Amino acid sequence: MIVRKSKFVKSLNAFGDYPGQGMPEIAMVGKSNVGKSSLINSMTGNSKLARTSSEPGKTRLVNLYLINEAFFLVDLPGYGFARAPKQEKQKWADMIEGYLRNSRNLKRVFQLVDIRHAPTEDDQLMVEYLRHYDIPFTVVATKADKLSKAQRGRSIPVICRTLGVQPWEVMVHSSKDGTGRERLLDLIEGEVMPTVETEQ
């Protein structure tokens, strides 16, 4: 898929003022700082679209980005940021859950994990949540540029074991060097435009 157009549409802090429009949505989920906003920038080829930071806790709202006037990429706040104030953490958790429970057009969640580390307990809970509510998800092991090929080979089985997924269900990705970008775009295309022929 070629991303021709991408634009920020809206931030939501509570469910209710959602623009909807019936267009399909793909949402980014993962702990703070794992690279959710960077993944959106990587997908769209626009490094300035979603705000990123080396400090966790950058994305604090549900942010909707309209792609090719056809579907939304949805950036969510992260979880598991230990130093965030308790109230703030609860607010982010409510936003994530509110979005996941209420979006009628959510086609798939990208569950991001850092390829360098075993998934956390929060990651496991998140995956259990997605399974419980029957929300289709794909595990994206990101920051792949930080590991050698051999190291990646060793970390994928750890991710699979911890989250209970198969190796072929894990997409390796790097927002820095574009590893895995095309495969993720193909996956998105399959979800959001199932009737349109693939562009070569």
Ligand X SMILES: Nc1nc2c(ncn2[C@@H]2O[C@H](COP(=O)(O)OP(=O)(O)OP(=O)(O)O)[C@@H](O)[C@H]2O)c(=O)[nH]1
Residues binding ligand X (CB under 6 A): 30, 32-38, 52-54, 56-59, 77-78, 142-143, 145-146, 174-176
Stretch that binds Mg ion, among 30-38, 85-93, 112-120, 146-154 (CB under 5 A): 30-38
Residues 113-172 that bind Mg ion (CB under 5 A): none
Phi, psi of 22 (to 5 degrees): 70, 5
* Cβ at position 122, least distance to ligand X in Å: 12
For residue 121, give the H/E element and its range: helix 121-132
Q: What residues contact 98, with CB distance under 8 A and at least 6 apart?
A: 14, 15
Which residue, 137, 36, 38, 31, is CA-closest to 93? Answer: 31
- Contact partner at residue 57 from ligand X, Mg ion, none, CB < 5 to 8 Å by partner kind: ligand X
- Cα torsion 155, 35, 125, 186: sign: negative
Radius of gyration over every alpha carbon of the chain, rounded to an integer in angstroms: 16
C-alpha–C-alpha distance, residues 31 and 79, integer Å: 4
Burial class for 74, CB neighbours closer than 10 Å (0-12, 13-18, 19+): buried
180's contact among ligand X, Mg ion, none, with CB below 5 to 8 A by partner kind, is none
Q: Return the H-helix or E-strand segment holding 186.
A: helix 181-192
- Under rule CB under 5 A, residue 37 binds Mg ion: yes
Give the shortest CB-58-to-Mg ion separation in angstroms. Answer: 5
- CB 173, min distance to ligand X, A: 7
| CB-nearest residue to Mg ion | 59
Measured from the CB atom, the residue of 7 and 146 that comes closer to ligand X is 146
Q: Minimum distance between the CB of residue 75 and ligand X, rounded to whole angstroms?
A: 7
Q: Which stretch binds Mg ion (CB under 5 A): 10-18, 35-43, 84-92, 174-182?
A: 35-43
Q: Which stretch binds Mg ion (CB under 5 A): 2-10, 53-61, 119-127, 147-155?
A: 53-61
Helix, strand or coil, per DSSP, at residue 9: strand
Residues lying near Mg ion in the complex (CB under 5 A) are found at 36-37, 58-59
